[in-house]
Amino acid sequence: MAKDVRAVHHPGKRHVEMPYAPALLVRRGGLLFLSGLTAAPVYHSHPHREDEFDLPPRMRDQAIRLMENLKTTLAAAGCALSDVVSATRYLTDVAEQDDLNAVWGAYLGAHRPTTTTVEVSRLATHANCKIEISVIAIADDSRRARGKPTKKNPRRKRTAARNR
């Protein structure tokens, strides 16, 4: 079963250009939930080591690193940036949101997931982090696409074979 995602807009308002969709309707596909990502390495020591958090001071540079971390994490699950349906973005300085949006737009192109942006006093990952983003993406439900039985419907394979 292929993914099926459709942007939902208010009647007569689609002409307004925004960096997000007001809503996305997901009809088919599995959901992938990502933990918050920052510009820091996805795999870092716990407890934290300072040398792993030598991050660039500019929002734009941190946003680029974060988007690369996001692409890598999505790819590990067989997804891409175009599969992101929702993002929550935490910034330590909302005045830098335009820098984030420039990078976000450059990576996502015409794709517009839903977004919520929140200003926070500090991110828990590290004081040098200026942004953290958590996303939900839609993935192909490849197990069902191949007609394999699932726990929900163990007869699916047999039923699909009869309908051929």
Domain count, the chain: 1
Do strands 23-28 and 30-33 pair parallel, antiparallel, or not at all (unpaired)?
unpaired
**Residue 84 placed within a domain:** yes
CATH code of the domain in which 98 resides: 3.30.1330.40
**Residue 157 placed within a domain:** no
**Residue 146 placed within a domain:** no
Q: Is 28 exposed, middle or buried (0-12, 13-18, 19+ CB in 10 A)?
A: middle
Residues of the chain with pLDDT > 70: what percent? 73
- What's residue 155's pLDDT? 47
**Residue 147 placed within a domain:** no
Owner of token pair 């933990």: 35
139 in helix, strand or coil?
strand
**Residue 100 placed within a domain:** yes
**Residue 8 placed within a domain:** no
Cα 129 to Cα 59: distance, rounded to the nearest angstrom = 9
Q: Which residue has the higher pLDDT, 139 or 150?
A: 139
Question: For residue range 41-91, what is the model confidence (pLDDT) as tens digits?
Answer: 888 777 878 888 899 999 999 999 999 999 999 998 888 999 999 999 999
- Domain extent, residue 129, equals 17-140
**Residue 63 placed within a domain:** yes
**Residue 164 placed within a domain:** no
